[in-house]
Amino acid sequence: MPTLNKIRTALTGTDHSPSTTPLTALRIALTAFFAVDGFVFAGWVVRIPAIKAQVGASSGALGLALLGVSAGAVATMVFTGRLCHRFGSHPVTVGCAALLALSVALPPLTHSAMALGLVLLVFGAAYGGLNVAMNSAAVDLVAALRRPVMPGFHAAFSFGGLVGAGLGGLVAPHLSPTRHLLLLTPIALVATALAGRVLLRHPVPHVNTPDPASPRPRSHPGARWLVVVFGLIALCTAYGEGALADWSALHLTQDLGSGPGLAAAAYAPFALAMAVGRLSGTTLLERFGQTRTLVFGGLTATVGMLLGALAPLPWLVLAGFAVTGLGLANVFPVAIARAGALAGPGGVATASTLGYGGMLLGPPSIGFLADAVGLPVALTTVALLAAIAALIAFAVRNAEPRASR
């Protein structure tokens, strides 16, 4: 069957259908890497409550330990762009994915907040490097395909997160965090090996004839300034994604008294809504343009997060998380893709560093705020930053090239 041939081609790197092209194989392989990233990350975050109890950490101490993920990721992101320039984004993607698969098994082996923070440095370094490398590879592929398909890659991340969160909700009552996270390692390594063959066999695609509808990197006089602006938009929205990933389960258990199964699956409605929103991202971008997509997305997330943070009933909180995911769905991928279109791989690295910095700095910030004012109020900062992202996108609408609006 044609579909099976395409999947087999992507996984084996061999052609089983005359209609299969290297670009198709690369697209499927990169989609797999985004899915693995989301799957592993969600597997970690749904076990945070159990690991928090294991190490005996307060909310503030846990926030400080989570800063290890942030520090490792942001430090790696700073030079991952140079690694991609020297060795290519494809080999760097494969190497970082393998390290991520191995390092996810480390957190449940710790028995203090300090030890947890140290191993999370390794996990964060792998996570940060993988996200910059695979986003750089995706931007190159988007340019070769000449369609705004970046949301599709990030939809794979969300679907991977949905599967990881759902699996976590199922096994949380039955498996220890050690056994659960150790189980993720071989799954992720096998997927990395299969999809990695495709990336290593095929070079980064080059576009010989630029698309007249897409500006060449650095062709816009304010490109560098706009890259930073789009990075800030990504930061504001990724802050919310990181906060929900790390604190949604604790919000349900500590503030609403939910059981471990429901709490472990708290990330699932957010991930599902985000995945569904990203599946429609290409259509939305082609119909409404980037500015409207960014503004409406940020405002939707603002409303959803206020509900998720302040509602008194678990089902209302979950509904708020879902609306938040729908609103944030396309904001981050649009911001990263736009930065790459404006300034090439350097733009991707800059915007990714800012964006994922927000995702990884959000959780410890929430932890410190939770100690001071309570977790529900701390979570309202997600709504505040989503609104700021919408305002920034609206404010710079006239500074963007016409093709992007």
Q: Which CATH superfamily is domain 2-404 in?
A: MFS general substrate transporter like domains (1.20.1250.20)
The stretch 371-392 carries a mean pLDDT of 92
pLDDT at 222 over 70: no
Weakest mean pLDDT among 38-42, 244-248, 368-372: 244-248
What CA–CA distances, in Å, run from 39 to 187, 245, 309, 345?
10, 12, 25, 25
The reported pLDDT for the residue numbered 18 is 39
> Could you read off the pLDDT of 54-104 as tens digits, one per residue?
888 787 788 788 888 878 888 888 788 788 888 889 999 999 999 999 999
- Select the highest-mean-pLDDT range: 114-123, 172-181, 205-214, 276-285: 114-123
pLDDT at 126 over 90: yes
pLDDT at 212 over 70: no
288 burial via Cβ count (<10 Å: 0-12, 13-18, 19+): middle
Higher pLDDT, residue 78 or 273: 273
Do 308 and 317 touch, CB atoms closer than 8 A?
yes
The reported pLDDT for the residue numbered 208 is 53
In percent, the amount of the chain with pLDDT more than 70 equals 87
Do 314 and 256 touch, CB atoms closer than 8 A?
yes
Output b/e per residue, 162-183; b: 16+ Cβ within 10 A.
bbbbbbbbebbeebebbebbbb
The reported pLDDT for the residue numbered 233 is 92
pLDDT at 134 over 90: yes
The reported pLDDT for the residue numbered 14 is 44
- Which positions ≥6 away from 196 have C-beta within 8 Å? 29, 93, 94, 97, 98
In this structure, is the dihedral angle defined by the CA atoms of residues 107, 112, 117 and 121, taken in order, positive or negative?
Answer: negative
Mean pLDDT of all residues belonging to the chain:
83
Assign residue 191 a region: left if phi > 0, alpha if psi is -120 to 50, beta otherwise? alpha
Do 193 and 93 touch, CB atoms closer than 8 A?
no
pLDDT at 389 over 90: yes
R_g of the chain computed on alpha carbons: 20
Question: Per-domain residue ranges for the chain?
Answer: 2-404
259 pLDDT band, cuts 50/70/90, is confident
221 pLDDT band, cuts 50/70/90, is low
244 pLDDT band, cuts 50/70/90, is confident
Q: Find where tokens 């996200």 sit.
A: 131
* Sequence letter at residue 307: L
220 pLDDT band, cuts 50/70/90, is low
- Write the DSSP string, 69-132: HHHHHHHHHHHHHHHHHHH-HHHHHHHHHHHHHHHTTSGGG--SHHHHHHHHHHHHHHHHHHHH
The reported pLDDT for the residue numbered 207 is 59
257 pLDDT band, cuts 50/70/90, is confident
In percent, the amount of the chain with pLDDT more than 90 equals 32
The reported pLDDT for the residue numbered 215 is 41
Higher pLDDT, residue 347 or 86: 86
pLDDT at 213 over 60: no
